[in-house]
Amino acid sequence: MIQTDVSGLHQGSAMLDAPGADALTDRPAGFPAVDIRIALFSVENGALRVALVRHGSGYGLPRGVPRATVNLDAEARRILRDDTGHIDQYVEQLYTLGVDSERTWTVVISYLALVAPDGPGIDAGGCEWRLVAEPPLTEADQMVLDYALLRLRAKIGYTTIAFRLLPPMFTLRELQDAYEAILGHPVDKRNFRRRVAAAAPIEATGERRRDGSHRPAELYRYHGDRSTETYLTPPWAADAERG
């Protein structure tokens, strides 16, 4: 099994160019503006989507200015709630980059967040859900999105964060759909179920869901500790990482 370095972005090769680098000198060293920027994902019937919010003329990732606290993760959650109306099921800091935008030097702390689809559509707050391939974004937003996707694809392979994308009760097919949407390729049903059963704390509820002219699916519940996202299934991710 070969894995490429998921943290490759840190190496600087993918860093933003500084088109107006002279403007950067305007602000005193050590006191840049700081903002938090979040790639919020959800899976809506088999498709992975990112949340975008209106920013002046166009759309961009949800973002905001942190208040003076020691807990940046909590600030990310607050900003997400204020900006999109969604309550995250999972938040993880990604990395921090310098950005030169509108003549201001800004330090952007980027986050990955996940929500389960809530209710009929997943359009609660004032945000749009776009397919991850689609949107033309600013350079910085695009970087954050790309890296968030990379991390999500890698991490779904060895943690249980995928359950954060599903409602409390779900079918194994829905879980598999989430994996396939994120990885971008199909996975084997039998191997998938075996591994999930072995590695993730899920239990069959006994209830079934009928939704077509076919055998109904068993509903499962996830019983994982929220703080210890545990190991799950590396090997499928390898394909996605190689790409």
Partner DNA sequence: GCAAAAGTGTTTGACATACACCCATGT
Partner DNA sequence: ACATGGGTGTATGTCAAACACTTTTGC
Binding region for its own copies (CB under 8 A) = 1-5, 7-8, 10-13, 15-18, 21, 24-27, 29-35, 65-75, 91-93, 95-100, 105, 107, 109, 155, 158-159, 227-231
Considering CB distances under 5 to 8 angstroms, the limit depending on partner class, which of its own copies, DNA, none binds residue 158? its own copies
Strands 104-114 and 33-44, by their bridges, are parallel
Q: Which residues have C-beta within 8 Å of that of residue 138, sequence separation ≥ 6?
A: 60, 101
Ranges within 124-143 binding DNA (CB under 7 A): none
What is the C-alpha to C-alpha distance for residues 153 and 243, in angstroms, rounded to an integer? 11
**Which listed residue (67, 190, 226, 242) binds DNA by CB under 7 A?**
190
Considering CB distances under 5 to 8 angstroms, the limit depending on partner class, which of its own copies, DNA, none binds residue 83? none
Considering CB distances under 5 to 8 angstroms, the limit depending on partner class, which of its own copies, DNA, none binds residue 227? its own copies
Helix H or strand E segment including 64? strand 63-64
DSSP 8-state secondary structure symbol assigned to residue 229:
-
**Which listed residue (11, 12, 203, 215) binds DNA by CB under 7 A?**
215
Considering CB distances under 5 to 8 angstroms, the limit depending on partner class, which of DNA, its own copies, none binds residue 96? its own copies
Pick the stretch among 100-108, 112-120, 127-135, 166-174 that binds DNA (CB under 7 A).
166-174
Q: Which residues have C-beta within 8 Å of that of residue 6, sequence separation ≥ 6?
A: 150, 151, 154, 241
Residue closer to its own copies, measured from CB, 94 or 219? 94
Q: What tokens does 14 get? A: 């993918």
Q: Does 162 bind DNA (CB under 7 A)?
A: no
Nearest to 178 by CA among 201, 203, 196: 196
What is the C-alpha to C-alpha distance for residues 95 and 148, in angstroms, rounded to an integer? 10
CA atoms within 13 A on the CB side of 127: 27
Contact set with DNA (CB under 7 A): 1, 171-173, 188-191, 193-195, 198, 208, 210, 212-218, 233-236, 238
